[in-house]
Structure 1
Amino acid sequence: MNPVPGPRDGGRADAGAAFALARAVSIALHPFAVFLALTVLGVRALVPQAFAAAMAAVGAAVAVVWLFVWQRHRSGRWSTVDASHPSERPVLYLLLLWVLALVWWWMRGRAAVLGHGIVAVAAMLVAAALLNRWIKLSLHMASLSFAAVALWPLAPTAAAIGLASLPLLGWARLRMRRHRLAEVIGGAALGAGFALGLRWLA
């Protein structure tokens, strides 16, 4: 006969459910998904004729980065697919900047108006890399806050949804123990700051 679940078992089940929800939120609002959405909405609003080229570039960039991340984690070099340890971040930042440079080169003659956005994202990553010595800022939070603020003039409904999702994503990153509170708040501030800079330039 199966034992009757006790309070401790219920607590474990609740904790497991909370972790599963946090993981689902982190996947749904992953930087890859956020920047794909940003590209779709931004290109459709600004340069719809370059939609196919932009999606090909961003799709290829996401595939390259994801394969690299998967290989590093599978080989045991990274503890998680999020490059959770600060020592794992520098090579990730270098790869992201290299990929962004290729995307900028690909799009320069097809949708030059997107150049400011690519440069702003690259500058955000450089800032995060420089600060990595002292604080491992959340790239999940930075990506979502950047996209939400950058999209506000173009797709206010999507921007509002992004901003409203920030607390949930912050909770998810804390619940999964990928970041501390300062890293979550700092990541959100970093993304919002560079998005505001992008809007000023544009």
Structure 2
Amino acid sequence: PMKKNWHEILQSPEEVISNNDDRGAGAPGNIITLETGTALMGLTVNNADGADNTPRPENTVYDYDMRVLMALRRIMHFIDTYSRRLAVEHLITGPQLICLYAIAKDGPITLSELGKRVSLSMSTANGIVDRLENKHLILRERKDKDRRKVLLTATDAGIALASKAPLPLQDTLSLAISKLPELEQVSIALSLERIVEMMEEKT
């Protein structure tokens, strides 16, 4: 197929994605390979000379950087769809729901404890807690013995929302990844971390 540049893919990812998806999820050429020749996602390597002898359909795309970008675009689309669904159906954002889950599950907890549980800074967590409190989904309460210590507790409305809202993306992703062989889990994690490192080096 005709090679597209990064700008074209960013402008029209759906077209490129659909063209690339004609092969099917398990088709050869879907992902990287290991030196041992072990198939990671249907693609193998000849160990003797390093040559790839796997048969490929004619429309296989070899531009791995473009394929990575297309995959990231699809992930972004999924996150956007999930966020819009939360906003429309439950009037709450993804980060707010994550914090609400943590408070409903582990509360009463302090703001600093919440920040550690959901990997947010104190200032960001505080802003989210303010909005959850304004929605009457949580309460700020002071301990009797130490009035300086503020505890966060989910209200009945907050507990009800946490029980019916869709799972946070972290839980959905964790469940999906846990079903993969450990070799694939390690490969995905290391590859994404390396991509982030390389992009940060350019900024």
TM-score, L = length of structure 2? 0.28
Q: Greater relative contact order (Cα 8 A, min sep 6): structure 1 or 2?
A: 1
Flag the structure with higher strand content.
2
Flag the structure with higher helix content.
1
TM-score, L = length of structure 1? 0.28
